[in-house]
Homo-oligomer: A and B are copies of this chain.
Amino acid sequence: MPTYKAPLRDMRFVLHEWLEVHHHLKPLDVFADVDNELIDQVLEESSRFAENVIFPLNQTGDQEGCTYQEGEVKTPAGFKEAFRQYSQAGWLGLDADPDYGGQGLPKILGINVGEMIGSANTAWAMYPGLSRGAAHTIHAHGDEASKTLYIPKLLSGEWAGTMCLTEAHAGTDLGMIRTKAEPLDDGSFSLTGQKIFISAGEHDMTENIIHLVLAKLPNAPEGTKGISLFIVPKYLVNPDGSPGERNGIVCGSIEHKMGINGSATAVLNLDKARGYLIGGEHNGMRCMFTMMNAARLDTGMQGLSLGEVSFQNALAYARDRIQSRSISGTKAPEREADPIIVHADVRRMLLTQKAYNEGARAFANWLALQLDIEKNHPDDTARTDASDLVALLTPVAKAFMTDNGYEVCNLGMQVYGGHGYIKEWGMEQYVRDVRISQIYEGTNGIQALDLIGRKVLRDGGEKLKKFGKLVETFIKDNSANEAMSEFVGPLAKLGQDVQETTMWIGMQGMQNPDEVGAAATNYLRLVGHLVYAYLWASMAQVALSKTEDKDGFYKAKVHTARFYYAHLLPETSALKRKIKAGSKILLELDEDVFAF
C-alpha cells in the first residue's frame, strides 16, 4: 500500500526562501493580512486533510469506481463524507471572492493546497475542482443576481458545478457543437442536445448540480463565434434559493475509463432543459476561456500531484527493497543484498522524478503568483506583464507538466519492477490516473499550437520577450558569481536557442503555415525546458547562498539542479533538430499509402 506525506519543506522553500512570496503579496492590498505564518498554517491544515481524509480513499475509490443506475450516479464509499468535511472546513472557496463566500486567500496558496489534494486523490479532487471552476466562471461572467444565487452555494459545497463543453463529434473543435438553445418567453432558454465526457456530471454528493453548458442560439453565426454559455441547474432554483423542479438534464450513462475511476464522467442528455444565458449572446467562447485557462493550470498540477506521490513511494521502495549488490562493491554488508537505491540506473529514475517534480512546483508557484499579481496589483504595467506571462506560459504549464508527470509516474512504477504492475501496490494507478491529464482541457498537441501560434507568433514574440527579459536579467545578475557559472552558461545558450528557433519558425511559417503546426509540440518542450532551466538556476542560486544546511536540504536542491542540467536539458539538442526537420517530412506522404 502506498503512502503520502505532503512535501511541506519544499513548499516552504519555494514560497518563503525562493519566491519570497510575502514580499510580492504586500503591494497587493487584498492580501495585506496574509503573512508567512498564515500561509504555513493553511499548508499544514490542508496537508492533514489530504493525508488523513482523502488519501485513504484513493485506492478504494479506484477499485470501486462510480456506478450508474437509471440516471443516478453513486460515488465510491467515503467520497461524499470527505466532500462534506472539505466544504465545511472552507477549502472550496479558499482563493475565492469573500463577497460571495470565499476566503479571499491568494491563488499561490490555493495551488499548493491543490497539489496536496491531487496527490492524495486525483479522482476525488475532480469534484471540488469542477465546482470551483463553475463558481469562477459565474463570478467572471454572471450578473449580480446569478453570482448571489449560485456562488455561495457552490463554495459551501451545498451544490456542485460542471463544465459541459464536449459533444461526441466536437471535442477540440467546439465550433461544431449542436446543442440548441431556444429562447423562452420569460428570458430563459430551452436547451436540447447531448454532452459527453462531463466530469462530475452526475453524482450523489450534493443536493444540486449547476451545469455550465455551451449551446447555440437559433441563427447563431457558424463556428466558435456562434457559441453561448448557459447556466443549467439539475434542479431549478426556487426564488428563495432552495432546489425546485427537476430540470431536463439527465445523465444517460457514465464512461468506463483507464483511470480516475472515482470521478464520474457523464453523458448528459438535455431535453428542453431550462437554461440561463450568461456572458451575453454568442460570447460563450470567451467565457469558456475563463474556465479553461484556470483549468489548464489545474490540469498541469495533476502531473505534479501524481508525480510527487509516485516519487515518494518509489524512493521508499528503492531504499527498502534489497536485490543484488552494487556494481562497485557491496554497500550494505549487513543485509542479504544491497537496497536498490545503490544502483546508478535506479538513481537516474529517482532523480528524474525529483527534478521534474520540484521544477514543476517552482513553475506552478511562480505562475500562480503572476495570477495574483495580474488580478490584484495596483500598477497597470505590473498587471499587464503578469497577464502576458500567464497567457504565454499556461499552455506550457498544462502540457509540459503533464507530459513530465506521465514520465515521472512511469519511472516510479518501473522502480517497483514487477510489483509496479500489480494494482495492490498502487503505482500503476498513478500512471493510469495521470494519463488523462495529457488529453483533457485541450490535448497537449493543442496546447503546443496555442503556444506557438496564439501566444508567441501572433504578437511577434512580445510576450516571449517579456519572459526572455527575466532570463537575461537573471544571467546578468549572476554572471560574476563563479558558483553559478555551471548554470548561467547553459541557460544563456538555451535562451539563444529558443530565440533563434522562434525566429526560424516564424520565418518558415510566413511561407507555409504548416511549418508552425509541424514545429509546435517540439517547440513547447523546448520552451518548457528553458522555463525549468531558469527556475532551477534561480533555486540553485538561493540554495547556494545559504550558509547553514543542517539537514542537507540545500545541498540536495543544488544537486538536483545539476542533475536537471546534466540529464534532462540535453533533450533540447534533439528538439532543435526535430524542429528544423520541417513540415515536408510530416505532410508529403499521401495518406493512402500510410498503411499496408
List residues of A whose CB falls within 8 A of some B CB: 7, 9-10, 166, 169-173, 176, 197, 255-259, 311-312, 315, 319, 322-324, 326-329, 336-337, 341, 343-351, 354, 406, 410, 413-414, 417-418, 420-424, 428, 431-432, 435-436, 438-440, 443-445, 448-449, 453, 512-514, 516-518, 520-521, 551-553, 555-556, 559-560, 562-563, 566-567, 570-575, 577-578, 581, 583, 585-596
Contact = CB atoms under 8 A, between A and B. Distances in A.
B587 A578 contact: no
B257 A422 contact: yes
18 contacts: A169-B322, A173-B337, A176-B323, A258-B432, A327-B449, A345-B518, A345-B520, A347-B586, A354-B595, A410-B435, A414-B443, A421-B440, A432-B432, A555-B590, A559-B589, A560-B589, A572-B574, A574-B574
A258 B428 contact: yes
A575 to B, nearest CB: 8
B323 A431 contact: no
A553 B170 CA distance: 34
Given A354-B594, A573-B577, A586 B348 contact: yes
B566 A570 contact: no
B439 A344 contact: no
Given A423-B256, A423-B257, A594 B439 contact: no
Contacts of A551: 593, 596
Nearest to A339: B591
Contacts of A337: 173, 176
B587 A566 contact: no
Contacts of A323: 170-173, 176
Contacts of A345: 445, 448-449, 517-518, 520-521
Contact of A258 (B344, B421, B553): B421
Nearest to A453: B327
Nearest to A588: B559
Nearest to A516: B327
Chain copies in the assembly?
Answer: 2
A449 B552 CA distance: 31
Contacts of A448: 345
A552 B256 CA distance: 40
Contacts of A347: 586-587, 589
Contacts of A512: 328
Contacts of A521: 345, 348
B423 A587 contact: no
B593 A417 contact: no
A169 B336 CA distance: 11
Given A9-B596, A173-B337, A583 B344 contact: yes
A592 to B, nearest CB: 7
A418 B166 contact: yes
Contacts of A354: 594-595
Contacts of A176: 323, 336-337
Contacts of A591: 319, 341
Contact of A327 (B343, B439, B517, B575): B517
Contacts of A443: 414, 417
A403 to B, nearest CB: 10
Nearest to A554: B593
Instruction: Name the residue among A326, A428, A555 with the largest chain B CB count within 10 angstroms.
Output: A428
A552 B590 contact: yes
Nearest to A336: B176
A344 B354 CA distance: 33
B596 A556 contact: yes
Contact of A581 (B420, B567, B590): B567
Contacts of A423: 255-258
Contacts of A322: 169
Given A328-B513, A328-B514, A440 B418 contact: yes
A570 B577 contact: yes
A423 B432 CA distance: 12
Contacts of A567: 578, 581, 585
B435 A421 contact: yes
A575 B566 CA distance: 11
Contact of A197 (B255, B418, B453, B516): B418
Nearest to A589: B559
Nearest to A583: B344
A591 B169 CA distance: 51
A415 B279 CA distance: 33
A595 B257 contact: no
Nearest to A166: B418
